[in-house]
Structure 1
Amino acid sequence: MSEAIRIRIQRQGEGAEIRILMQHPMENGLRREDNGKTVAAHYIQTFTVKLNERVLINGQLNTAISRNPLFVFKARQVNSGDTLSVHWLDNKGGTRQDAVKVE
């Protein structure tokens, strides 16, 4: 199983700045090992960010994204006690979901 998704929320008035770090190798399938063998593609294909089960972001990624992608965005109407969840699915069927309560 992959490492936990790191989620940080900084409330700013009625909204918040949300930072999400998804731990993933994000191999593009073009890199070669020292022995010349190609490293298989392994990357996050889709991710979803929800606030209290309401979808904020549905995203698609591809091989051009770096290892351990970091996303930063702002959202409105984020209140104490809300739950923010992040879910991703990679091209090999791997998945990860984590959630935090807004303080």
Structure 2
Amino acid sequence: MSAPTRIRATLRDGVTELRMLMSHPMENGLRKDAEGKLIPAHFITEVGVQRNGEIVLEADFGPSVSTNPYLAFSIAGGAPGDEIVVSWRDNLGGTRSDTIRVT
């Protein structure tokens, strides 16, 4: 299992600002190791973000996204204590889901 997704969710002037850093190697399958063998592809394919159970973002990622992807965006509204859930799935079937409260 990967390290937890680092999430910040802050409310400013009626807008919830979300920033997240997902821990993932994001290998594209084209790089070679020290012995010259291809490193197998291993990358996030789907990302979802929910606020209080409502989907606010769904994204498709691919092999061209960098290691440990960083994602930031804002959504209208929100309140302190709202639950934010960030989930992802990778091409090998691995998944991760982390939760935070808006401050």
Q: CA deviation at 1:75?
A: 0.8
Q: Are residues 1:74 and 2:74 paired?
A: yes
**Aligned equivalents of 1:52 and 1:9: distance in 2?**
13
Structure 2: where are the runs of 5+ without partners? none
Counterpart of 2:6, as a letter, is: R
Across the aligned residues of Structure 1 and Structure 2, the Cα RMSD in angstroms comes to 0.7
Contact 2:5 2:22 in 1 (8 A): yes
The equivalent residue for 1:46 is 46
Q: Deviations over 1:28-75 (max 9, x none)?
A: 000001101000000000010000010001110000000000001011
The equivalent residue for 2:85 is 85
**Following superposition of structure 1 onto structure 2, how do residues 1-103 of structure 1 map, counting pairs within 5 Å?**
1-103=1-103
Q: CA deviation at 1:10?
A: 2.2
Q: CA deviation at 1:11?
A: 1.5
Structure 1 runs (4+) deviating above 3 angstroms are none
TM, length-normalised to structure 1: 0.97
Three-state SS of the structure 1 residue aligned to 2:32 is: coil
**Aligned equivalents of 1:45 and 1:14: distance in 2?**
31
**Aligned equivalents of 2:42 and 2:29: distance in 1?**
7
**Aligned equivalents of 2:16 and 2:53: distance in 1?**
17
